[in-house]
Amino acid sequence: MLGTGMPSETKTEFSWLHKGLIRQVEDFRRKEDGSLLIFGLFCFVMMLILAGVSLDLMRYEERRTTLQNTTDRAVLAAADLRQTLPPKDVVKDYFRKAGLPPPKDSDIIVNQGTFSEWRTVQANTSEVMPTWFMNMLGVKTLTPISSGTAEERIGNVEISLVLDVSGSMNSNSRLTNLKPAAKAFVDQMFDTVEAGKLSMSIISYSAQASAGPDLIKYFATKVDNVNTTNSGDPTAATCLEFDSADYNSAAMKPKTTPVGSAPAATDTRYKLNGLFDPFYTAMLNTGTTSSSLTHCPPNLDVSSGSANKGNNRNIMAFSGDRAALKTKIDALVASGNTSIDIGVKWGAGLLDPSMGPVVTSMIAEGKVNAQFGGRPLAYKKASGQWNDEVLKVIVVMTDGENTTEYKLNNNYNVGNSLLVRNTSSTYTSTDVKKYSLWDASRGQYWLFAKSAWRATAWGANASDVPSDNTDTAVNMTWPQVWATMSVNYFADNIINPVYGSTERNKWRTGTTTKATTYIDAAKDTQTLAICSAAKANNIKVYTIGFEAPTAGQTLLKSCASSPSQFYSVAGLDIKKAFSSIASSINKLRLTH
């Protein structure tokens, strides 16, 4: 009988196979190789996606940067006040040349002043950029945008226009050529500076510079009340005399006492330059234009036809009225010697903050526009840095070089003189017989009507001119004497007949006389000193040698802020010089 069981060997083999299979299944269950591969594939896909997103973002940022840089350059170019093309066209042209779609007209906003004295340009733009990888995440496009605004304007500008009106300006049509050039300069500045931010002063100078009645009263001295003309007007003397030390500073020294009050005895800020004629032998006020050439304008010639009538030689200070400034230039007349130092001193002084109280008072009097309150602005900020809110400029023009300047000596500029005048209508304005000359050593008067000495002046006695009941004797002040006659006339016709030629020559105009002081060589030194003082305060100094001699050009080159700010011109080229200066001023104040 056969048995049903397997042989023991077979059973053993089957058991081994079974256990091995079970073991492999268990090993397969325990192993993670397959899951790591799947996870690795997942991570790889995610890294590709993230890298793609980063690439899309990099493309976006590069495009946005390109747009922004192009926008910035475009609006800066379009806002440039020297740009003659339409601002919107300039913006779009910049984008086209950069290979970018230009903004729409509606996305370019332009605002500017009436006279293009300021301009603001704003541009906004964007573009659609297809994505490469982010579209797998549902982001099909990105939109880089850019926006930029640029503004250019001229800041606060204070200008002193210092113009030579000496006698030589009548030669070769110089004054004729100067006027339209200077007026064009005024227009160019007002056309390119925002309204209310430009103040300009015109200082016309020859041997002296006249402050005029509106300005001179702020520099009154202790002798104002007696420094009068024969009209009795204390404001007629309108020229200041500066000492050498005054040229070392741009600052002015206005008086501290109230306007219109009697100056304090210690208020000796400046001496007034007497109104006198140091050149001619004719008496003044004779009705001839040749006798109107007085040392300090305005003239004393009140006759019809006088070239110097109308106070057209007075300084015009702190004006914002272009029409008035041009009218002032049109009215200029030329006569006298040349004092560049005095012209520049006034030019620098009217830009110096020391004039602030004067401006405040002139505003209160209605002489200066209220918009200029606070001017002249400070040179520096509280931090000590230069004040970049204001540009201060002096423009100096001359056709010559410093010549001579005469000053009245202290004993002969104020107070009672040696002359007494007979008021009888019998005598004409040129009749010497109406005068009596006092001699202190004799204690007597020389009577020109009698050619004799007497204890009383001619006209003091009723019997002197009995037929004229207006006959009387009036003491003349020295200002009244010089308002009536030149220094040389006084020497020749008053001193000479009484004391002879030796004494006469002591009075005749020369280097040093009894009545006058002659200034010459020191004037170049004083000019350079005030130019240096101005430049030290960051005032820009431009100079124009208008057909000037070598010595004058050399002085102007040293005075200018830089060699490029000196101009040597002739004829109608004077207009080019002023135009170039105006353009240079505008470039200095362009801000973004």
- What is the reported pLDDT for 177? 97
The burial class, CB within 10 Å (0-12 / 13-18 / 19+), for 378 is middle
Cα 272 to chain center, whole Å?
Answer: 26
Peptide bond into 549 cis (omega under 30): no
- What is the reported pLDDT for 231? 38
Q: How confident is the model at residue 89 (pLDDT cuts 50, 70, 90)?
A: very high
Contacts of 13 (CB under 8 A, 6+ apart): none
Cα 3 to chain center, whole Å?
Answer: 135
Q: Please say if the pLDDT value at position 341 is more than 50.
A: yes
Q: How far apart are CA 294 and CA 275, in angstroms?
A: 7
214 and 332 together in one domain: yes
Q: Please say if the pLDDT value at position 305 is more than 80.
A: no
Two tokens at 79?
Answer: 């806002």
Q: Please say if the pLDDT value at position 141 is more than 80.
A: no
Q: What is the arithmetic mean of pLDDT over 286-301?
A: 44
Q: E-assigned strands of 234-300?
A: 239-241, 271-273
- What is the reported pLDDT for 226? 40
Query: Is 73 a domain residue?
Result: yes
Sort residue 143 into left (φ over 0), alpha (ψ -120 to 50) or beta.
beta
Q: How confident is the model at residue 136 (pLDDT cuts 50, 70, 90)?
A: confident
Single-letter code of the amino acid located at 235? T
User: Which one of 125, 153, 181 terminates a domain?
Assistant: 153
More confident residue, 34 or 540: 540
Q: Which helix (H) or strand (E) holds 108?
A: strand 108-112
pLDDT tens digits, one per residue of 413-446 = 878 899 999 999 889 888 999 999 999 999 999 9
Beta bridge partners of 516: 408
pLDDT tens digits, one per residue of 19-61 = 666 776 666 566 655 556 666 666 666 666 666 677 767 877 8
pLDDT tens digits, one per residue of 501-526 = 999 999 987 767 888 888 888 999 99
pLDDT tens digits, one per residue of 227-247 = 433 333 443 668 888 999 999
Total number of domains in the chain: 3
Query: Is 254 a domain residue?
Result: yes
User: What 3 state SS string does 389-428 have?
Assistant: CEEEEEEEEECCCCCCEEEECHHHCCCEEEEEEECCCCCC
141 and 229 together in one domain: no
Q: E-assigned strands of 416-531?
A: 416-422, 435-439, 444-447, 452-454, 473-477, 516-519
230 and 208 together in one domain: yes
Backbone angles phi, psi at 111, to 5 degrees: -130, 140
Query: Is 428 a domain residue?
Result: yes
What b/e sequence results for 426-441 when a residue is b if at least 16 CB atoms lie within 10 Å of its CB, and e otherwise?
A: bbeeeeebbbbbbeee
CB contact at 8 A, 316 and 310: no
Q: How far apart are CA 517 and CA 514, in angstroms?
A: 8
Cα 315 to chain center, whole Å?
Answer: 14
Q: How far apart are CA 402 and CA 379, in angstroms?
A: 29
Domain of 96, in residue numbers: 45-153
More confident residue, 9 or 306: 9
Q: How confident is the model at residue 482 (pLDDT cuts 50, 70, 90)?
A: confident
Q: How confident is the model at residue 222 (pLDDT cuts 50, 70, 90)?
A: very low
236 and 101 together in one domain: no
Query: Is 389 a domain residue?
Result: yes
Q: How far apart are CA 549 and CA 377, in angstroms?
A: 36
Q: What is the arithmetic mean of pLDDT over 459-484?
A: 87
Q: Please say if the pLDDT value at position 289 is more than 50.
A: no
Q: Please say if the pLDDT value at position 158 is more than 90.
A: yes
Query: Is 502 a domain residue?
Result: yes
User: What 3 state SS string does 521-536 have?
Assistant: CHHHHHHHHHHHHHHH
Helices (H) and strands (E) in the chain, counts: 15, 20
- What is the reported pLDDT for 57? 76
Query: Is 3 a domain residue?
Result: no
429 and 530 together in one domain: no
CB contact at 8 A, 189 and 183: no
224 and 177 together in one domain: yes
504 and 463 together in one domain: yes
Q: Please say if the pLDDT value at position 137 is more than 80.
A: no
101 and 203 together in one domain: no
- What is the reported pLDDT for 267? 56
Peptide bond into 298 cis (omega under 30): yes
Contacts of 165 (CB under 8 A, 6+ apart): 175, 204, 205, 206, 313, 332, 333, 334, 335, 336
Query: Is 328 a domain residue?
Result: yes
Q: Which of 137, 182, 151, 2 is nearest to 75 (CA)?
A: 151
Q: What is the arithmetic mean of pLDDT over 548-557?
A: 96
Q: How far apart are CA 318 and CA 200, in angstroms?
A: 5
Backbone angles phi, psi at 239, to 5 degrees: -115, 135
389 and 299 together in one domain: yes
User: Which one of 153, 171, 199 terminates a domain?
Assistant: 153
495 and 398 together in one domain: no
- What is the reported pLDDT for 29? 60
CB contact at 8 A, 561 and 522: no
Q: How far apart are CA 406 and CA 238, in angstroms?
A: 15
Q: Please say if the pLDDT value at position 592 is more than 50.
A: no
194 and 141 together in one domain: no
- What is the reported pLDDT for 256? 64
User: Percentage of the chain with pLDDT > 90?
Assistant: 47
Two tokens at 506?
Answer: 């002591």
Q: Please say if the pLDDT value at position 85 is more than 50.
A: yes
Q: Which of 33, 22, 102, 29 is nearest to 67 (CA)?
A: 102
112 and 93 together in one domain: yes
Pairing of strands 316-319, 516-519: unpaired
The CATH number covering residue 368 comes to: 3.40.50.410
- The residue with tokens 């009484």 is 498
CB contact at 8 A, 592 and 120: no
User: Which one of 96, 126, 153 terminates a domain?
Assistant: 153
Query: Is 94 a domain residue?
Result: yes
Q: Please say if the pLDDT value at position 225 is more than 50.
A: no
- What is the reported pLDDT for 295? 54
CA distances for 121 relative to 66, 79, 93, 235, 352, angstroms = 19, 6, 14, 52, 35
Two tokens at 394?
Answer: 């002096």
- What is the reported pLDDT for 437? 98
Q: Please say if the pLDDT value at position 224 is more than 50.
A: no
- What is the average pLDDT value for the chain, to the nearest integer? 83
